[in-house]
Structure 1
Amino acid sequence: MKKTNGLIIGVIVLSFIIVWFAYQNVTDDTYEGMSIIPERRDIPLFTGLEPTRSNYVMEGNQWKEIKNFYFKKLPKRGWNVVYKDTSPNKNGSGFITRWRKHGLEWGLSVYSSYSETNNQTEVIFDKTLIHHSKKWIESIPKNICIYKNTNDNQCAKIRDQAKIKKVVQFINNAIDWKEKMESRVNESVIVVGDIKINVHYEEDKTIYFQSKKGLKSMKPDPGFFKLTNLSVK
């Protein structure tokens, strides 16, 4: 009798485990392409929206109702809108919003669009990291000095104030980088006032700015290379 009871309990437990794993797999597939799942966060979900891997959809033209819903609900949960835009067009319409919440190191983007062809409203929720950019250069100098190689004795000077402002803007707007810097093929030096900045760069790879003030990173913007006359080759 005891063996029979034990066998029954074992079968029940095994069945539960199988069902649980099956549910997890279905759930993971459903939300596979999403950076954030509203149902698992303090983010309300508009009634009728159904998850489809990377986004949520519902029948009909509901983008205005969805927009009004989130502008009403999110502020009540501590979210503040930092950007909003509406884009009507012939085939459909939609909106883009970005939100911030005090105490969180990430932001929330909510996009919605209506497709007249499919008669569906799509909504995308996106979790975005908030990047910080500490200002290294407070005032614009009369000139900046660029050493193409770290062992150069002479530098190329930029005296054009418009160009200097743009170079300073690139450096100040670069993202504060707290992780380990990856090695780069090229290294140059830019001297701005009393700040010596080592520039680590390579073709199509992140640029690193290194100085006594810390470390910054930036996308390999062609405009920066054009202004500084630095070559990745």
Structure 2
Amino acid sequence: MNKINWLIYSTIAILIAVGWFTFQKVTDNTYEGMSIIPEQHKDIPLFEGLKPTEHEYVMEGNRWNDIYDFYSKELPKYGWKVEYEQSSSNENEDVTGFMSRWRKKGLDWELSIAGSYFKMNNQTEVIFDKTPIYHSTTWIGDVPTSICIYQSSSDESCSEINDKTQIEGIVRFINDAIDWDEEVLPREKTSVIDIGDIEIKVLYENDKEIYFQSEKGTKIMKPEPDFFKLTNL
């Protein structure tokens, strides 16, 4: 009798374990491509009727306006402040919708919500995204009348630039670059930009991110073609 009871209990335990594993697997797959899940955050309400898939939430019908109004009204109640928002003005387009970005005091990331209605399949899709908040410190205040660019950090002579528009463009790229306090990866080339009272090393390599280094710290930027054109690097 004890053996029978033990067998029954063991079978039940196995079934529970298998069921839990299956549930977890289905749940993981459902939210697999999402950077943030509203159901796991008390301060991010989910619009009623939205169903999660691997990458977005969906519901039947044209509901993007209702969803847009819902979050515009509800998120401020939870301390969110809108940073940017844009919506479609032409309802006759095949795809209409909105996009908004929200920030909350104390968080180092922002919440993005993008909703779209696809007329072809009569379905509204909403994507929630969590992205870091980046900061850009101004390294160069007054734009100098001239700057000097050394093609290599070992060069003794430089190429002088006196064109105001060209200098302003270079300064803008440097100031707008993102402050970086993480690892600086090796780059094949190192040039130097001498801008008055600040000397900036430029670390770059083909289509990899550019690093700017100076006494003020480190910045990072995408390999913008216009920057290379302005600096002749």
* TM-score, normalised relative to structure 2: 0.94
Cα distance in 1, alignment partners of residues 95 and 222 from structure 2 = 34
Q: Write out aligned runs for 1:209-228 (5 A).
A: 209-228=212-231
Instruction: Say whether residues 1:10 and 2:13 are aligned partners.
Output: no
Report the Cα offset of residue 2 of structure 1: 4.7
Note the residue ranges of structure 1 that are not aligned, 5 or more in a row. Answer: none
Q: Which runs of 5+ in 2 are unaligned?
A: none
CA deviations on 1:80-111 (whole Å, 9 max, x unpaired) are 00101112442242111011111111101111
> Who is 1:184 aligned against?
187
2-side partners of 1:194 and 1:63: how far apart? Answer: 52
Residue 3 of structure 1: how far off its partner (Å) = 4.6
Which digits, 9 at most, give the CA deviation of each residue in 1:149-189, with x for residues without a partner?
11111111111122111111111111111111111111100
Q: State yes or no: 1:75 paired with 2:76.
A: yes
Q: For residues 158 and 8 of structure 1, what CA distance do their matches in structure 2 show?
A: 85
Q: Secondary structure at the match of 1:82?
A: strand
Once the two structures are TM-superposed, the CA of residue 61 in structure 1 deviates from its matched residue by 0.8
| 2:201 counterpart (178, 198, 201) | 198
Tell me how far apart the structure 2 counterparts of residues 136 and 205 of structure 1 sit (CA, whole Å): 22
Residue 183 of structure 2 corresponds to residue 152 of structure 1:
no
1:31 matches 2:31: yes
Aligned length: 230
CA RMSD of aligned residues (A): 1.3
Cα distance in 1, alignment partners of residues 176 and 209 from structure 2: 14
- Aligned partner letter, 2:17: I
Question: What do residues 23-47 of structure 1 show as CA deviations (whole Å, max 9, x unaligned)?
Answer: 1110111111111111112311111
Mean CA deviation greater in 14-23 or 178-187: 14-23
- % identity of equivalent residues: 57
2:45 aligned residue:
44
- Farther off after superposition, 7-16 or 171-180: 7-16
Matched to 1:116, the amino acid is: K
Q: Tell me, what secondary structure is at the counterpart of 1:184?
A: coil
Match of 2:101 in 1: 98
- Tell me which of 167, 170, 174 is aligned to 2:177: 174
